[in-house]
Structure 1
Amino acid sequence: MIVEFEAELWEWDARPGESWVFVSLPPEPSEEIRELTTGTRRGFGSVRVRAQIGTTAWRTSIFPGSDGAYVLPLKKAVRTARRLSIGDRATVTIELVDTP
């Protein structure tokens, strides 16, 4: 499954100032991912993905968020490479790695 979406970068409230920055996946693909990965999720309900913003690609995991949507962490190297800051919008592509 491949999902492309646009989302705003946001900082995790519980750890402000510690570079924990995320984008939230839309609700509908989040529900599809939840259904596809039942029984195959990893720690904290995470799902391994390949992610890409522009020409920057990396492997990571998405995690279930408090509102039911999955969230994708954006490490500092990715934000720097793409010149992104909290509040900016980015077009993101994710591909599930471990789907049956």
Structure 2
Amino acid sequence: MASDAEPIAELSFEAEVVYWRGPSPFFYAPLPPAAAEEVRRVARAVSYGWGVVPVTASLGGVAFATSLFPKDGTFYLPLKAAVRKKADVTAGDRILVDMVIAAPDR
């Protein structure tokens, strides 16, 4: 994964992939409550605005960088088409995610 920064949180969790229709259709993995609480604990230190939190994640052996965003009392992990295709996942699938939140390079 991309960053050499020191991890400030490392999480593993299961989630069900959801399809969000709009305004920009996309697939997401909503974080379960315990994982969302851990993200909330460190979000202020790493967020670059609007509550989004940059992360590196791994799903089915596919590593990627993205940003979580707050929604409905949790955070949503966006799953790009290239990631979903390589990991062979779609809406309704239960997935295991490993995720790292690192201190920002500022």
TM-score computed with the length of structure 1 as normaliser: 0.85
Q: What's the secondary structure of 2:50's corresponding residue? A: helix
Residue equivalent to 2:61: 55
For normalisation by structure 2, the TM-score amounts to 0.81
Gaps of 5+ in 1: none
Unaligned runs of 5+ in 2: 1-8
- The Cα RMSD (Å) is 1.7
Runs of 4+ more than 3 Å apart: none
Identity of aligned residues (%): 35
Give the aligned residue type for 1:81: K
Distance in 1 (CA, whole Å) between partners of 2:48 and 2:31 is: 18
Out of 17, 22, 27, which is 1:14 matched to?
22
Higher share of residues assigned strand: 2
> For the residues of structure 1 that align with 2:78 and 2:61, how far apart are their CA atoms?
17
Deviation (angstroms), 1:29 = 2.1
Q: Name the count of aligned residue pairs.
A: 96
- 1:17-96 to structure 2, matched below 5 A, reads 18=25, 20-66=26-72, 68-96=73-101
Q: 1: distance between equivalents of 2:48 and 2:21?
A: 24
